[in-house]
Structure 1
Amino acid sequence: YEWEPAGERVDRTLEVIRIVKRLWTEDVVNYEGRFWRIVNCRLVPKPYRKPHPPILNGGAGRRMLRIAAKYCNGWIGVLDNPQEYRERMEYIEKYLERPGEFSFANVFQVYADRDSVESVVKRVEKFVDLGVSKVILFIHPQPRNLELLDKYSKVLDEFR
């Protein structure tokens, strides 16, 4: 599979965010964009949460960070370096239109063969201190995920 250029993927993402928000909030949506055309589309039932469920966006490029700030309710980073994360947070914060409605999350790669619960807690703690309010643990190796969930649930317990 060949990926589209990064700029095109970002354009697609923005178009999808706009479409989904309209589907969640309008009765009938007509849309003519660069990538999609929608005619008399209805989404029922509408989401319970108003005006719509939160939209969390990933991506680390400056344009994606601005899109997250302007159109989304949160940003999900996948960074191990707290300083790099802080730089992206500060960049996003410059563009936020609704700061009180925005949250920061980070995905932490956890390797069961080398990461103790204590070491993961220390890593996560550095990001929580920065203002990360959502923590996602991505546990390796995949075939053992269920077995490892109990062990690493203790990490999340530290931050409840």
Structure 2
Amino acid sequence: MRTGVFYFPTDYGIDPAELAKALEDRGFDSLFLCEHTHIPTSRRSPFPGGGELPKRYVHTHDPFVALSFAAAATRTLLLGTGVCLVPQRDPIITAKTVASLDRLSGGRFVFGIGGGWNVEEMENHGARYPTRFKLMRERVLAMKALWTEEAASFNGEFVNFDPVWCYPKPLRQPHPPILLGGETDHTLRRVVEFCDGWFPRAGAGFDPAVAMGRLRAMAERSGRDMAGFDVTVFRGPADAAQLEPYRAAGITRVLLEVPDLDRDGILRRLDELAPLTA
């Protein structure tokens, strides 16, 4: 099992390039960056974690731009979105962005995706909460066509384009792994239908053995071979003993949280977490 981190790449925090280099130097597997394009001031959508929305949600860099700086500063560190809010992104532009980052990083990109929770945020992008997962599915399938076909076209309910050339193609073949976030049976059905892995969140009641059993059962019902499936757990416990069940269950990777601190505070925390990479 590999150990990486996730981070909200804020404009007041550590530089993404410095963070990536520090992670690689300490033996971490990966850096996944969170995304919010903006936060509407109405705040109608309650924060899923309860209470006030943390400051970091309002101050994030674009994850692809930040990951480009991280890629340039490193050689082996995997670079991921955790998660990219696909219902809020144009699929043609996103397909080119993903492919460009994957090629320029030497095939080190992992495409973590999700549907989103902030209703006003997605509405500002023309997406609707009740249909966000249908929209996400079509955009993912359209991007896969753009990555793998010479002259790609797509005709769906939400995404439509006649044959186009879209280059570059990703270096990773057939494309970077697509990991879908969420924990419900609906999520697992989507994972086995059109993704390459699962991106659940650890938390109260999360049992890695039970989770992996649910995924295997869904894959078997769908006739999907789980060989090569990537299961990356978001916000894993920062404790060696608590991580052992994740390793035993066959989890691919656990992401530990880089806290919302200043540069020096973050580097001290990385030193504390580094022994968990062994």
Q: Tell me the TM-score normalized by structure 1.
A: 0.78
State the SS of the aligned residue for 1:45.
coil
Query: Could you say which residue in structure 2 is the equivalent of 1:101?
Result: 228
CA distance in 2, matches of 1:64, 1:42: 31
Q: Deviations over 1:21-49 (max 9, x none)?
A: 11111012221222222233322121122
> What residue ranges of structure 2 are gaps of 5+ in the alignment?
1-39, 41-117, 120-127
Matched, 1:36 2:159: yes
Query: Could you say which residue in structure 2 is the equivalent of 1:128?
Result: 247
Structure ranking higher in helix proportion? 1
Query: Could you say which residue in structure 2 is the equivalent of 1:154?
Result: 275
CA distance in 2, matches of 1:142, 1:14: 35
CA distance in 2, matches of 1:141, 1:102: 31
Q: Please identify, of 73-82 and 9-18, the stretch whose mean Cα deviation from structure 2 is larger.
A: 73-82
Quote how far apart the aligned CAs of 1:81 are: 4.8
Alpha-carbon contact 2:209-2:249 (below 8 Å) kept: yes
Q: CA RMSD in A?
A: 2.3
Alpha-carbon contact 1:65-1:88 (below 8 Å) kept: no
CA distance in 2, matches of 1:15, 1:148: 40
Aligned residue pairs total: 148
Matched, 1:17 2:136: no
Alpha-carbon contact 2:208-2:251 (below 8 Å) kept: no
Query: Could you say which residue in structure 2 is the equivalent of 1:88?
Result: 211
Alpha-carbon contact 2:180-2:199 (below 8 Å) kept: yes
Q: Please identify, of 88-97 and 71-80, the stretch whose mean Cα deviation from structure 2 is larger.
A: 88-97
CA distance in 1, matches of 2:266, 2:133: 32
Quote how far apart the aligned CAs of 1:17 are: 1.8
Alpha-carbon contact 2:142-2:159 (below 8 Å) kept: no
Q: Deviations over 1:77-109 (max 9, x none)?
A: 111357544333222212321211212111125
> What residue ranges of structure 1 are gaps of 5+ in the alignment?
111-118
State the SS of the aligned residue for 1:66.
helix
Picking from 172, 175, 181, the partner of 1:58 is 181
Change in Cα spacing, 1:150 to 1:38, as seen in structure 2 (3 Å) is: farther
Q: Tell me the TM-score normalized by structure 2.
A: 0.48
CA distance in 2, matches of 1:142, 1:37: 43
Counterpart code for 1:108: R
State the SS of the aligned residue for 1:108.
coil
Alpha-carbon contact 1:70-1:95 (below 8 Å) kept: no
- The percentage of counterpart residues that share the same residue type is 24
CA distance in 1, matches of 2:268, 2:141: 39
